[in-house]
Amino acid sequence: MRVELPPEPVHFVNRDDERERALRAVTDWRSRSRPLVLALSGPGGLGKTELAVLIARALGDRYPFTDGVLSVDLDDFRVDGVLDPGDVLSRLLDSLGVAPDLVQAQYAARCRQFWNRTSEAKMVLLLDNARYASEVVPLLPSSGDSVVIVTSHGPLHDFEAGAAVDLALPPLDDQAAAELLERIVPDHRLASDPEATRKIVRLCGGLPAALHVAGQWVRTHRLRPLSRLLADLTAELNEKGLSGVEQLWDAFYADLSRPAASLYRSLAHHPGETFTLHSATALSGLRLEDCRDALEELGGAGLLDLRPLSLTETGQMRLLGLLRAHALRRSRQETAEEETAASQARLLRWFARQAQLADRFAAGRRLTVVDRLDPVPGAPDVPLEDPDTAADGETRAGYAVSAARWLDEERHVLFACSRLAHARGMDTETVALSEPVWTHALDHPHQSEVVDVFRRAVDAAVRHGGDAGWLVRTRCQLARPLWESERLREAQEQIDGAMSAAELLGDSVRDRKLAASAVEHRGMLKAARGEWDAALADFTAARDMHRAIPNAYGALLQTYRMGEASAKTGDLETARRLLSDAHAGFVEERRERLIGRSAFALAGVLYRLGLTGEARELYQRSLGQADERRSGFDLARVHDALAELDTAEGHLAEAEEHRAAAQTFRRRNGLG
């Protein structure tokens, strides 16, 4: 059997799923009139050729392909980027034993000659670096006993449906990438400095080609600490790109349409690591349909993986790290700084508006200090549904949950937008972005980025200097995560600043609400210190302020706070009455988060009063609310409470299950 394959790669990891799918497809193949086509696709540097070689060798070992295992790199037959399929056919016919002087001169006759020669063939044919399905079709053997493995930088969408088994390769995950790096260069520094190793792996973006380059650097510079090596390698890859692969990316970029090339350059400046169709539209200034077409073109060119990162509601995509660096280099060469700044400002205004909408839909109508920003021309809003338009309570709750999940899934982009808006001096957007982060942080506390978002908002409010309400709101927002992380002195400084700013407020409804909010937050800080009697006095004062406006929701919230404080002071009957009133009010107001949290607080009081059956029912209700919102903080503490209740009632196995669940949620959400 003739085998025309390069040697197997020395170092190769992962891709077991793709190999298994390929071998299973061959086993299941039943056609007699056409070959099985296995189409491997993905950006340059992912190891498609190496995987194709491994699959071809595995097929040659497992099945009787008596006519051989052949391989052709189609790039070897291109002139100015155009493939001459006739030359490829000549090469294949030569491999199949046809003497050069017997190869038909005319292209059509040569095709028929190849098809005739392969009509009974049993062969594996590897066609590397295809660009279009139309290049591959004339090269397909005419026998159903043959297998063709095709590699391409983008999906070959112009194959007829069902004509190929699609094996699109994702980047290696961090674990597989680290394993490959350790195989390439067994070096004690990798194990002794895991943080630097992790950063090297992340820098390579799951591209085996980049990991080989990194391995060469580690092997060459044996005396350098990895931290210094990382800095040098980062500069090298960001400035010069990935040797060998860079030329491929340049070639595919050169073939892009003007809109796709412009979008590619713009994506290098998108805040955060991920983007969506809608955010790319806002950034690029393209129409939604034009942006969709441009993204598909980038995917077809192998410059973008269009598969969503996960089964999210947002449809997040990512430009691989080294491709992002390539796009940035192209942007520096071809895009004016003023154009980039305008694109980012447009995205920041758009994203702040989307976060405001998600905040309102998730948390309901509440006090905010930045009015909703206007729509960005040409950039449609994210398709979130307003709960106020829902026909029933279940649908309304679903809309609210979807908005909360949007905030959760887009949080890293939200944090990055906050950094960029502050750096560009966009104070309104910086403060506006902080308010949805408040809503997100209520379900997901103790995230380090949250404090930074609120600090930037305080700084923007001070820098702006023209709105006392901004100062009150941003300082109260910052105080809470500070006291939650036991930085009580810093929290006190922010509350003192908020109370001072509150003295500058006017007599408008908004300003009176903000003044009451400052008193509430002062009480919450006292509660964090364990000063529950003093906290109760502040919550009572804040409730009186809300009632005087009048602001029914604000008064209801303070009733809830007063109930919690009363429980802490040991006045359980008063706590039961206050929390029962608050819970009923939140149900009527359809405030999903506070329904769950007031149920939890009331359940704790009922448990202490010996009413365990009623307590369990409320704990289960609170658990369901927390699960809907994906709040790891609430899920953990409700499971802890149920574990305590089950232990008290002698249900030890159930109690242990709840403790394990609580520990899982704490570990998963970094809650300690």
How far lies 537's CA from each of 341, 515, 516, 564, in Å? 50, 15, 13, 12
Using an 8 Å Cβ cutoff, are 576 and 611 in contact? no
- 3-state SS, one letter per residue, for 482-502: HHHCCCHHHHHHHHHHHHHHH
* Nearest alpha-carbon partner for 525 in 550, 571, 489, 566: 489
Tell me the pLDDT tens digit for each residue of 395-451: 998 999 899 889 999 999 999 999 999 999 999 999 999 999 998 888 777 677 999
Query: Has residue 312 got a pLDDT over 70?
Result: no
Tell me the pLDDT tens digit for each residue of 576-628: 999 999 999 999 988 888 899 999 999 999 999 999 999 999 999 899 888 88
- Helix axis angle for 448-464 and 411-423, nearest 10°, is 30
How far lies 181's CA from each of 21, 176, 223, 325, 503, in Å? 25, 9, 18, 21, 60
Q: What DSSP string describes 616-654?
A: HHHHHHHHHHHHHHT-HHHHHHHHHHHHHHHHHTT-HHH
Q: How many other C-beta atoms lie within 10 A of the C-beta of residue 211?
A: 30
Give residues with Cβ within 8 angstroms of 584, minimum separation 6. none
Structure tokens at 352: 């702040």
Rounded Cα–Cα distance for residues 20 and 59 (Å) = 11
Query: Has residue 671 got a pLDDT over 50?
Result: yes
Q: How many CA atoms lie within 13 A of 435 on its CB side?
A: 32
3-state SS, residue 70: strand
Q: Which residue has the higher pLDDT, 386 or 668?
A: 386
For residue 528, name the pLDDT band (cuts at 50, 70, 90). very high
Tell me the pLDDT tens digit for each residue of 153-209: 888 876 766 678 888 888 888 999 999 999 999 988 888 889 989 998 888 888 888
Q: Which residue has the higher pLDDT, 444 or 71?
A: 71
- pLDDT recorded at residue 203: 87
Rounded Cα–Cα distance for residues 1 and 406 (Å) = 57
Percent of the chain with pLDDT over 90: 59
Tell me the pLDDT tens digit for each residue of 204-232: 888 888 888 888 888 888 888 888 888 88
Rounded Cα–Cα distance for residues 422 and 417 (Å) = 8
Structure tokens at 584: 């009923």
For residue 30, name the pLDDT band (cuts at 50, 70, 90). confident
Using an 8 Å Cβ cutoff, are 126 and 72 in contact? yes
Please report which helix (H) or strand (E) contains residue 581, including its range: helix 572-589
Give residues with Cβ within 8 angstroms of 304, minimum separation 6. 43, 264, 267, 295, 298, 317, 319, 323
- pLDDT recorded at residue 642: 92
Rounded Cα–Cα distance for residues 1 and 69 (Å) = 8
Structure tokens at 246: 């860079």
Rounded Cα–Cα distance for residues 468 and 341 (Å) = 29
Task: For residue 222, count CB atoms less than 10 angstroms from its CB and return exposed for 0-12, middle for 13-18, buried for 19 or more.
Answer: exposed
Query: Has residue 310 got a pLDDT over 60?
Result: no
Structure tokens at 599: 């149920």
- pLDDT recorded at residue 313: 58
Task: Enumerate the H helices of 309-447 as residue ranges.
Answer: 321-334, 337-363, 393-409, 411-423, 427-443
For residue 309, name the pLDDT band (cuts at 50, 70, 90). low
| Averaged pLDDT, 257-272 | 96
Query: Has residue 311 got a pLDDT over 60?
Result: no
How far lies 670's CA from each of 182, 198, 272, 663, 666, in Å? 28, 19, 21, 10, 6
Q: What is the mean pLDDT of the chain?
A: 90
Query: ω into residue 550 within 30 of 0, thus cis?
Result: yes
CA 304-307-313 angle, to 5 degrees, is: 125
Residue with tokens 């729509």, as numbered in its chain: 375
Q: How many CA atoms lie within 13 A of 517 on its CB side?
A: 27
